[in-house]
Structure 1
């Protein structure tokens, strides 16, 4: 029995070793692809990546959901339909995209402080119209609560609201297992893992798809992403206690797929939130969670109409 157990352990160690070595070799080969498409600025002792496009009067700030490897490419199908009229900004937080992986705190005050400083150092001034996806909905609401003069409106892309995290069970063991798989290169052996919705349904070019995959293998379950998950319940509670901000809000909601909730509960959470704000409106889409990669045409048109209505 001991011999069998030892043999199994030896095989497991061998597989991990081969996987890790292959991972490092592939990372080296992919290095030439990993070139920032925007501007790197130093914030809180680390580098953050800020991408800008377009020169319109309104500034649209895109904020990625938790764990999205490449925010710049993830949002491209949508913002490419808006950059002819508006100034587009994509913030890549610590541990995302071309931004540096760090050990900094991921409490909501630190995240907001870093985001605002990155914009300031990039020369991007407000007021802003925020486009948060998923988990970053909590950050967008906090921003509007703390600095209301900086936020003109929020356009939520299936964004999370505080109620979504009240009874949500977060399996940190599974989260850490995902980080282990990413760091040892085991994720490379499951090829469809790198096939994000942006790749499958969006308008990325072949070169951008390859870049997305190269970023995926560098920015999956990073330390910052894991620390965000650890802090999300406390962050959401803080936002809940501060109340609903009074800024105009347009919510696009998915059918609940990939959110961890069934369709009825997810729509209920979105509806309950929008009903508390006289300035909020909800548009339901029959799409999975990354709605901006699937329904980007409709979202772009509805967003334009909403933005123009703000100035009437």
Structure 2
């Protein structure tokens, strides 16, 4: 069909179609062009940020790839921190310097997060525990360890204490993520890392960096830690690992759920005071059943990231556990 414009000239439907196709073609060319620019620009920015924020600790070969570990302070037992899902060592910027005044403390980055390189293995609690064990041995950081696990990191330290009992002298579970319920029948095994999910692809062309907003409570971190965290959080490697860790979480939770007792190992459960619900409250209380020597503390004014929102409570819980372990050794 044909139509007329305001001047009475006849405009064919074919002409309209060609005009739309022309504009669509221009838009597609613009998108492709911007994507190419982003693909070139992203690694340049990453290299600049790696230079601006070098790893504060050491990079250790754990079998074909390197993990970053940062240890400060002196004394025993050594505190080893396991961060939560998609988190990195820089998020402990308030906690580490204070604990280091009492004893030695090590934070590290899981494979693919922070300064650490990617691992080829599925992202599950048992794999994290194995990698951490190798890292500590290769870094010459002997036990016994007080293991601190935040959120999903609680799964890892529970499994670590079960798999390497002679190396662990105490646990601090910082608002550990809810374990699967006992009636969970099946879970999907974690896949190997990799693939190109859409978020990782968007990060690779710089869109995550461009569109990413403020990172919530991370804004409260000390200068230096905050900038490093923000820079690495939007890197393609971190975005890919974020997805991989999510895929591995059901299996990791099941691995931790299978640990029903750690004997009389000292355990402190540090729970958030805000944003609680009955399910989380019950899950936190249930963690006390892991040991005959357990206690629960609360960070009354904090949400889930206690080590950022109320770091003094995280510090106090860790130092308290260090004192418990030291007193046990003296007896």
With the length of structure 2 as denominator, give the TM-score of the two structures: 0.79
In structure 2, the residue matched to 1:79 is: 96
In structure 1, the residue matched to 2:321 is: 306
In structure 2, the residue matched to 1:279 is: 293
Q: Which runs of 5+ in 2 are unaligned?
A: 1-16
Residue 52 of structure 1, CA deviation: 0.6
Alpha-carbon spacing, 1:278–1:161, altered in 2? closer, same or farther (3 Å)? farther
Alpha-carbon spacing, 1:292–1:220, altered in 2? closer, same or farther (3 Å)? farther
In structure 2, the residue matched to 1:253 is: 271
* Aligned ranges 1:103-182 → 2 under 5 Å: 103-163=120-180, 176-182=197-203
* Aligned ranges 1:202-241 → 2 under 5 Å: 202=221, 204-205=222-223, 207-218=224-235, 221-241=238-258
In structure 2, the residue matched to 1:91 is: 108
Q: Does 1:63 align with 2:82?
A: yes
Q: Deviations along 1:120-158, whole A, 9 cap, x unmatched?
A: 111101110001111111111111111211111111121
Residue 304 of structure 1, CA deviation: 1.9
Q: Following the alignment from structure 1 to structure 2, what is the Cα–Cα distance between the partners of residues 219 and 279? A: 43
Residue 9 of structure 1, CA deviation: 4.1
Residue 58 of structure 1, CA deviation: 1.5
Q: Following the alignment from structure 1 to structure 2, what is the Cα–Cα distance between the partners of residues 67 and 86? A: 27
Q: Give the match's secondary structure for 1:90.
A: strand
Q: Give the match's secondary structure for 1:188.
A: helix
Residue 46 of structure 1, CA deviation: 0.6
Which entry has the higher C-alpha Rg, 1 or 2? 2
Count of matched residue positions in the alignment of Structure 1 and Structure 2: 298
Q: Which runs of 5+ in 1 are unaligned?
A: none
Alpha-carbon spacing, 1:208–1:58, altered in 2? closer, same or farther (3 Å)? same
In the alignment, is the contact (CA less than 8 A) between 1:56 and 1:84 conserved in 2? no
Q: Judge which range, 127-136 or 263-272, deviates more.
A: 263-272
Q: Following the alignment from structure 2 to structure 1, what is the Cα–Cα distance between the partners of residues 65 and 149? A: 23
Residue 33 of structure 1, CA deviation: 1.6
Q: Following the alignment from structure 2 to structure 1, what is the Cα–Cα distance between the partners of residues 315 and 40? A: 43
Alpha-carbon spacing, 1:219–1:120, altered in 2? closer, same or farther (3 Å)? farther
Q: Does 1:197 align with 2:212?
A: no
Q: Judge which range, 152-161 or 247-256, deviates more.
A: 247-256
Q: Judge which range, 248-257 or 115-124, deviates more.
A: 248-257
Q: Give the match's secondary structure for 2:213.
A: helix
Query: Which of 264, 267, 270 is the matching residue for 2:281?
Result: 267
Residue 182 of structure 1, CA deviation: 2.2
What value does the CA root-mean-square deviation take over the aligned residues? 2.9
Residue 181 of structure 1, CA deviation: 2.8
Q: Following the alignment from structure 2 to structure 1, what is the Cα–Cα distance between the partners of residues 181 and 42? A: 36
Query: Which of 184, 200, 208 is the matching residue for 1:187?
Result: 208
Q: Following the alignment from structure 1 to structure 2, what is the Cα–Cα distance between the partners of residues 113 and 293? A: 27
Residue 6 of structure 1, CA deviation: 4.7
